[in-house]
Amino acid sequence: MTDWAGIVTLSEQTTVNPPVRRDDLESLRNSINLPLPTAYKDFLKFSDGLELLSPVILSARQAIFKNQELRGEHWGELYLSFAGMFFFGEDADGDLFFFRILNNEVDEGVFVWRHEDDSRIRVSYTLEAFLEQYISGKYDAWSL
């Protein structure tokens, strides 16, 4: 099992929350009608969201809202479809982190959606590796 407590302490600026409530976790799962990635679900059971200058990991309720908001009609006029993307966090610059939905499964890999140019780039193969990189200050969106 992942040592989330060890990872989030890589920076003194992280804000950890109480664990996700069971009904909020179930609402999140129901909102995408697919099983959540195991590591993501485990993290939410450790902390319902994570702040480091921005909500790097959204709370379950925030994730539900963000995904509903981005599937609204007006976004389709600006960007390619967000179908196939489950947003779970955001960077301070406005870019969003997501898991890819492929063949009715939510992939464990972490991607970033850049709002400036609508690009979608894999940043890590696991949530654990992504958080280690991000929290330790080694994540650089401009070098992707």
Question: 141 falls in which pLDDT band (50, 70, 90)?
Answer: low
pLDDT digits (tens, 9 = 90+) for 51-86: 998 889 999 999 999 888 877 666 556 656 667 888
CATH 3.40.1580.10 fits 12-135, yes or no: yes
User: 3-class SS at 91?
Assistant: coil
User: Does 92 or 18 have the greater pLDDT score?
Assistant: 18
Would you say 84 and 100 are in contact if contact means Cβ atoms under 8 Å apart?
yes
The amino acid at residue 14 is T
What's the mean pLDDT in 6-14?
Answer: 92
Q: With both helix axes pointing from N to C terminus, report the angle between 38-46 and 127-135 in degrees, rounded to the nearest 10.
A: 50
Angle subtended at Cα 142 by Cα 138 and Cα 144, rounded to the nearest 5 degrees:
80
Residue whose tokens read 């993307």:
85
Give the span between the Cα atoms of 46 and 16, in whole angstroms: 9
Residue 76: left if φ>0, alpha if ψ -120 to 50, beta else—which one? alpha
Predicted TM-score (pTM) of this structure: 0.90
Cα 120 to chain center, whole Å? Answer: 13
